[in-house]
Amino acid sequence: MRLALLFFAASAAALVTRDEVKRKQISLLGNQDKPAPTNAVQAWWDALPNPGNLLSSVEQRITKSTRRRTNLDNFLTLVDSYDEDQEDHHPHPPHGGHGHRGHRDKTIYELIKDSQHATKFAKLIEEYYEIKQLLDDTEHNYTLFVPTDHALDHIHHGHHGHHSKDGDDDDDDDHHRHNRKRPSREFILSFIKYHIVPGLYSAHRIRTSRTLPTELHPSALGTSSAHHKHHYPQRIRAFTVPFIHLTRLNFHTRPIGPEIHAKNGLLRAVDTPLIPPPSQTALVRLLPSQFSTLALALETTGLGEELEGGQPRSGGGTLFAPTNHAWAALGPRANAFLFSLPGRPYLRALLRYHVVINETLYSDAYYRDGSGGEKEEAVEEDGAVGDGNSGYWHVDLPSLLEGKPISVDVKTWKGLASIVVNGFVRVTVRDVVADDGVVQVVGRVLIPPHKHRGGDRVSGGQKVEDDKMEEVSPEELKARLEPYLEESGKTSGRDIMGDL
């Protein structure tokens, strides 16, 4: 059993990124006095020695999105990134046969239990009666993503890491082995549930999906009504390169081999395990090469601590996260003002316009407090509720800035989606799933319109013209944000401008 769990504690050390220097910035941005995590998933992430290593694929995707490229360049980059590590020695499918498509007379649980190539995952399942019952249930269908023994060994042996020629890495492995601790039962249960998707998700359905619901229901994605409480499902991000049908789950995991049919659903092998995601603020801290400015802003204003340990979530939340490139585009004078002591109340107001609480908007699902049902909602243009599979739909999300709405338009076609915020700001990387909602990465800082004049053709303080961004002045920031300052932060314009 201990062998089956080694990959958990070793995963962060094995997945080594190419820029460890940037990783060390995390310690400068972290809060040593932050409260202890309240859930097993976040506790597991907090205990990892190098948690940012597990997010290297997210970091690479955001990095590519910030480069100005033609559509052809973008497509070829996607193809190249998916093709560069195509398997040449993939493991066998979980059923242990060659070329078979499964056994429709057996349940998912029976197939896993008899598997010769998923023994470690099967041992985990055996410890949880509720999981065995779920996968043995013939009244409902499920899709199970199965990390094969090879997939778990792949992480354990550090194939994604750097190996020294003289074998020094063996000493490191012995050191990590000595310090490994068994994850909590709660985390392992969450880990297993995150591999179970309700319903039948064939290869075609996965290719045309943008997120997939799972059997993991975090408390932060809960909602409540006068009659009952309900937790929405945690989701898996899915993306498939068009035409060549190369799929990634959560940026890194790749389905491999054929789909295996069972009496009560489907099984699909994956080349790396699916790890339940950390919180929104943790994601920001763990990606300093992209979000160090945002992390610093959350830290200095205290908003990050409030989001981590504040009021209970009931419907998750949506964080629109500007990259370091987006902050730099505001200009040096604007940044100097915002990160000065007099500018801090304005920075806090600006950040609050990027945060939505109790409403989680993915590109194909919409969780919100008070709906009180099992359904995942996608509000379309005409106000109807649908599944968001294709077409166009619009929603106004209430931000923390006095409920000032953030306008979001989603255009979808099969597995592709385009998300535009406030009419002009594009979401550059969509649906970065988090324990307490979703992070939508934006290429520009969002600045609210004038409180009394309403909106204009300015996005994030920059006029939109041929995708070029203009710097915003401190005077413009002050005019936009002054009406939204909290009472303790109101200062005269003369005092503020005198410090610049």
3-270 against 280-497: fold identical: yes
CA angle 474/479/480 to nearest 5° reads 100
Q: In CATH, which of 1.10.10.10, 1.10.150.240, 2.130.10.10, 2.30.180.10 is domain 3-270? A: 2.30.180.10
| Rounded Cα distance, 155 and 46, in Å | 19
What's the whole-model pTM score?
Answer: 0.80
| Rounded Cα distance, 447 and 116, in Å | 56
Is 280-497 assigned to CATH 1.10.1040.10?
Answer: no
Ranges 110-119, 128-137, 156-165, 416-425: which has the least confidence:
156-165
Give first-to-last CA distance, the chain, whole Å.
61
CB neighbour list of residue 331: distance below 8 Å, 6 or more residues apart: 471, 472, 473
The per-residue pLDDT for range 422-455, each reduced to its tens digit, is 999 999 999 999 999 999 999 999 999 876 655 4
The per-residue pLDDT for range 148-177, each reduced to its tens digit, is 888 877 554 444 433 344 444 445 545 555
Print the SS3 string covering 320-367: EEECHHHHHHCCHHHHHHHCCCCCHHHHHHHHHCCEEECEEECCCCEE
Q: Which residues pair with 147 in a beta bridge?
A: 270
| Rounded Cα distance, 34 and 369, in Å | 27
Q: Which is it for the CA torsion 197, 198, 204, 209, positive or negative? A: negative
Ranges 155-169, 200-214, 347-361, 445-459: which has the least confidence:
155-169
Answer yes or no: are the C-beta atoms of 387 and 378 closer than 8 Å: yes
Per-residue pLDDT band at 126 (split at 50, 70, 90): very high
**Helix, strand or coil for residue 290?**
helix
CA 210 to chain centre: 12
Q: Which residues pair with 321 in a beta bridge?
A: 441
Domain ranges of the chain: 3-270, 280-497
Neighbours of 252 (CB within 10 A): 21
